Amino acid sequence: MSVSRRRFLGAGAVAAAGLSLGRFRTAGATPLFAPLRSARLPAHPVIVSSANGLRGVAKAYDLVVGGSDPLDAVIAGVNIQELDPEDQSVGLGGLPNEEGVVQLDASCMHGPTKRAGAVGALEDIATPSLVAKAVMDYTDHIFLAGAGAKKFALEMGFKEQNLLTEKSRQDWLRWKAHLGPDNSWLKHDDDVKVKFTTGTINMNVVTTSGDLASVTTTSGLSWKLPGRVGDSAIVGAGQYCDNAVGAAGSTGRGEANIKVCGAFFVIEQMRQGVAPQQACLTALQRAVAMSERRLLDPKGRPMYGLQYYAVGKDGRYAGVTLYEGRQFAVADAKGARLEDCAFLYRRSEMPPSAW
């Protein structure tokens, strides 16, 4: 029987794919979508967060122990920062964009139901994490942005308010006054250093039944271009959760994290049996490897900050950072506390311009 060249090449491609798959499986790698290999589930809930979530992890832990849904618990945890006007990187009082407008981003994932929700460039609503959850709960979508996100929030009953506190407004004026010698703004408290932030809060949880959830919320890069959305609102970058494996998230330079799909990358390594700390450190290495030359010092070290946090289905957890000296928050049977992050570079190696 004659066989056309197209059919022959097609059959060869299928055979080659089968051989490749066979080699992959016999190499001992965990099959795609398999659960994390673990001897047992955690004896107590474990919650990890960026350091600004110390109060939040304590609250989330108590809620989970009391029977609350894991996602409800961590969102209640980050709400503390979103509603704190003294935290200028999240929610109310967040540092604004270059036009003096506070725009917020958030996303969340619910492990047991495999659902997710996100909002970007949301204005005048102090708790974007709750709006992201409402997108998850009440729509067939995952991500709403800008005016549409605000319209949805108002329709859902969220209250509109001015998020720009006087403290953040003054910082914005200082920034405008330092734009350069040719701008029309007078110097404003010239002896005060202009603030610059990429601060965010990420929180992840595993329960004693092995259920997981994650949430990340932020006001984003201070003085950003209007409409800029960072990694916090992007599922798979700013946070990611797989109920079979674990949950992870990030803070720091969102642009660096988006390019490596950091949170997803961490979870996929953990699926292969890599411990959370090593998975997070490898994600940092990947982010540095993908950085443009302009973002690296002459020795190839990043001139920005980036952190990852992760918890596995088995209760193992980690917090990592590029440069030595940062901490992250943990809550478990030992209570809520700060622990030192693992790191790639010593503080002595940090370039002067690194955030």
Task: Read off the pLDDT of residues 287-322 as tens digits, 9 standing for 90 and up.
Answer: 999 999 999 999 999 999 999 999 999 999 999 999
Interatomic CA distance for residues 218 and 290, integer angstroms: 23
d(CA 232, CA 253): 10
Q: In what order do the strands lie in the sheet with 342-345?
A: 239-242, 246-252, 306-312, 317-323, 342-345
Rounded distance between C-alpha atoms, residue 75 and residue 216, angstroms: 9
**DSSP state at residue 257:** H
Of the candidates 127, 197, 200, 207, the residue annotated as catalytic is 200
Instruction: State yes or no: pLDDT of 241 exceeds 60.
Output: yes
Q: What are phi and psi of 9, to 5 degrees?
A: -65, -40
pLDDT grade for 92, boundaries at 50, 70 and 90: very high
Quote the pLDDT of residue 133.
Answer: 98
Annotation marks residue 198 as catalytic = no
Residue 190 pLDDT > 70, yes or no? no
DSSP string, 156-171: TTPPP-----HHHHHH
Q: What pTM does this model have?
A: 0.87
Residue 9 has pLDDT above 80, yes or no: no
More confident residue, 1 or 220: 220
Average pLDDT score over residue span 261-277: 97
Model confidence at 192: pLDDT above 80: no
Q: Which of 262, 300, 299 is nearest to 282 (CA)?
A: 262
pLDDT at 350 over 90: no
Q: Stretch 69-98: mean pLDDT, rounded?
A: 96
pLDDT at 352: 73
Cβ contact 247:214 at 8 Å: yes
Of 102-106, 204-208, 350-354, minimum mean pLDDT range: 350-354
Q: Which residue has the higher pLDDT, 25 or 235?
A: 235
Q: Quick one: which of 139, 43, 53 has its CA closest to 334?
A: 43
pLDDT at 179: 78
Closest CA relative to residue 48, chosen from 319, 235, 323: 319
Q: What are phi and psi of 160, to 5 degrees?
A: -80, 140
Structural domains of the chain, ranges and CATH numbers in brackets: 36-164+197-346 (3.60.20.30)
Query: pLDDT tens digits, residue range 100-151?
Result: 999 999 999 999 999 999 999 999 999 999 999 999 999 999 999 999 999 9
